């Protein structure tokens, strides 16, 4: 396991951080996962007040199995426009975790400008007070928001770290990582394996293109080779799932020729398969009056058509309109053919037709086509 400096803090984190979403309900599995991950050198566990009993399970583990001083803990608290309520949330996390000090506290989900305003006005003062009296260490934020919003939050200079989405198949937030690095902030990558492409079980096509490297390892290496990234989350469901991802935990060097060649094979294949129908993710088509998530939908199409990642495409597409600000935008069937986006697309894509095709492919089984009537 390699370790990296967590921005301007005094913490040196393992380059893999244990996420705690997948073994919430099972104390025995939690104990085994945490212990195994620590045996492999992980020293950072990330949880959240909103993850069900995750904090409580971690507390039990701390009482029985691991020493508090062996790990860094991050928890996350949802923002709220009320300092008193936010202070109560912080107290609740301290109590549930059974600790008198939390190494890192993030405002959970600065996903909209309103969240950022709440964070700056109501939440940060609470956290800064707690920091001053030694209840918490570093203050950061997690986000599923737009690049502009993330950069605005970073530029506030109020945060020591950021948790965000970024991976080989979703590189839009690269400028935010550069900005965070310039401000000496810690950078935590959310779920690069699962949300980044269901890479524990990659599509046969992707597996073939990456061969002899496993797609999971290739995507981790893409991230580990970037010094501006501190740590990647991984979320094993059981102790048997711990070793495989960590096979690359020592490999923080620049990409090798073999890894670069695998990425070139992926790019060549995407180009050959998608041709002139490839969306280049420039975002110029936005805004859509129907709030359709055009670039995200066409990104999922790129991966589905180009790399056989239909399971992933379906998984993410079906979250649209269900996850609110955690995954904003509407599905492709909402297109009214207004044509506003068409002249803005430098690739001259027939966006309405591609949206309909993608909706048909990724909407999931047994659903009626929305554009076929009420």
Q: What is the 3-state secondary structure (H, E, C) of the chain?
A: CCEEECCCCCCEEECEEEECCCCCCCHHHHHHHHHHHHHCCCCEEECCCCCCCHHHHHHHHHHHCCCHHHCEEEEEECCCCCHHHHHHHHHHHHHHHCCCCEEEEEECCCCCHHHHHHHHHHHHHHHHHHHHCCCEEEEEEECCCCHHHHHHHHHCCCCCEEEECCECCECCCHHHHHHHHHCCCEEEECCCCCCCCCCCCCCHHHHHHHCCCCHHHHHHHHHHCCCCCCEEEECCCCHHHCCCHHHHCCCCCCCCHHHHHHHHHHHHHHHHHHHHHCCCCCCCCCCCCCCECHHHHHHHHHHHHHHCCHHHHHHHHCCCCCCHHHCCCECHHHCCCCCCCHHHCCCCCCHHHHHHHHHHHHCCCCCCCHHHCC
Angle at 249 between CA 2 and CA 104, to 5 degrees: 60
Q: Compute the least distance from the CB of residue 288 to ligand SF4, in Å.
A: 3
Q: Compute the least distance from the CB of residue 115 to ligand SF4, in Å.
A: 25
Token output for 282: 């420039």
Q: Whose Cβ is closer to ligand SF4: residue 237's or residue 284's?
A: 284
Q: Compute the least distance from the CB of residue 166 to ligand SF4, in Å.
A: 17
Q: Whose Cβ is closer to ligand SF4: residue 26's or residue 340's?
A: 340
Contact residues toward ligand SF4 (CB under 6 A) are 279-285, 288-290, 292, 294-295, 298, 335-341, 344-345, 347, 349, 351-352, 355
Q: Compute the least distance from the CB of residue 199 to ligand SF4, in Å.
A: 24
Q: Whose Cβ is closer to ligand SF4: residue 182's or residue 282's?
A: 282
Q: Whose Cβ is closer to ligand SF4: residue 7's or residue 145's?
A: 145
Q: Compute the least distance from the CB of residue 354 to ligand SF4, in Å.
A: 8
Q: Compute the least distance from the CB of residue 65 to ligand SF4, in Å.
A: 48
Q: Whose Cβ is closer to ligand SF4: residue 324's or residue 339's?
A: 339
Cα 354 from Cα 332, distance rounded (Å): 9
Q: Compute the least distance from the CB of residue 336 to ligand SF4, in Å.
A: 5
Cα 220 from Cα 168, distance rounded (Å): 9
CA distances 269 to 95, 288, 302, 356, Å, are 52, 30, 11, 23
Q: Whose Cβ is closer to ligand SF4: residue 227's or residue 339's?
A: 339
Q: Compute the least distance from the CB of residue 189 to ligand SF4, in Å.
A: 23
Q: Compute the least distance from the CB of residue 281 to ligand SF4, in Å.
A: 5
308 cis-preceded (ω within 30 degrees of 0): no
Q: Whose Cβ is closer to ligand SF4: residue 206's or residue 300's?
A: 300
Cα 371 from Cα 49, distance rounded (Å): 39
Q: Whose Cβ is closer to ligand SF4: residue 217's or residue 356's?
A: 356
Q: Whose Cβ is closer to ligand SF4: residue 158's or residue 278's?
A: 278
Q: Compute the least distance from the CB of residue 32 to ligand SF4, in Å.
A: 44
Q: Whose Cβ is closer to ligand SF4: residue 206's or residue 285's?
A: 285
């Amino acid at each position: 396991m390699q370790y990296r400096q967590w921005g301007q803090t005094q913490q040196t984190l393992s380059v893999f951080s244990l996420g705690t979403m997948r073994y919430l309900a099972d104390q025995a599995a939690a104990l085994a996962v945490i212990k195994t991950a620590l045996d492999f050198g992980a020293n950072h566990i990330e949880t959240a007040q909103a993850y069900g009993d995750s904090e409580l399970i971690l507390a039990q583990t701390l009482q029985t199995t691991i020493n508090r001083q062996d790990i860094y803990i991050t928890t996350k608290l949802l923002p709220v426009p009320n300092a008193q309520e936010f202070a109560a949330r912080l107290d609740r996390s301290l109590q549930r975790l059974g600790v008198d000090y939390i190494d890192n506290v993030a405002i959970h989900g600065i996903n909209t400008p309103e969240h950022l305003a709440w964070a700056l006005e109501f939440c940060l003062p609470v956290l800064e007070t707690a920091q001053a009296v030694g209840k918490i260490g570093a203050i950061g934020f997690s986000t599923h928001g737009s690049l502009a919003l993330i950069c605005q939050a970073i530029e506030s200079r109020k945060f020591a770290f950021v948790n965000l989405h970024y991976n080989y198949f979703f590189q839009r937030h690269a400028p935010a990582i550069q900005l965070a690095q310039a401000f000496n902030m810690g950078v935590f990558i959310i779920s690069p394996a699962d949300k980044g492409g269901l890479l524990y079980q990659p599509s046969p096509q992707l597996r073939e293109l990456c061969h002899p490297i496993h797609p999971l390892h290739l995507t981790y290496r893409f991230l580990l080779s970037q010094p501006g990234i501190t740590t990647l989350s991984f979320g094993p469901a059981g102790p048997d799932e711990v070793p495989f991802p960590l096979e690359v935990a020592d490999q923080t060097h620049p990409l090798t020729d073999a890894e670069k060649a695998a990425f070139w094979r992926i790019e060549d294949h995407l180009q050959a398969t998608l041709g002139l129908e490839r969306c280049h993710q420039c975002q110029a088509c936005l805004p859509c009056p129907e709030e359709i998530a055009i670039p995200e939908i066409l990104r999922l199409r790129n991966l589905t058509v180009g790399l056989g990642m239909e399971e992933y495409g379906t998984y993410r597409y079906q979250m649209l309109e269900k996850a609110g600000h955690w995954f904003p935008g509407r599905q492709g069937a909402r297109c009214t053919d207004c044509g506003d986006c068409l002249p803005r697309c430098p690739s001259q894509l027939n966006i309405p037709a591609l949206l309909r095709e993608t909706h048909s492919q990724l909407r999931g089984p047994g659903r009626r086509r929305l554009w076929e009537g009420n």
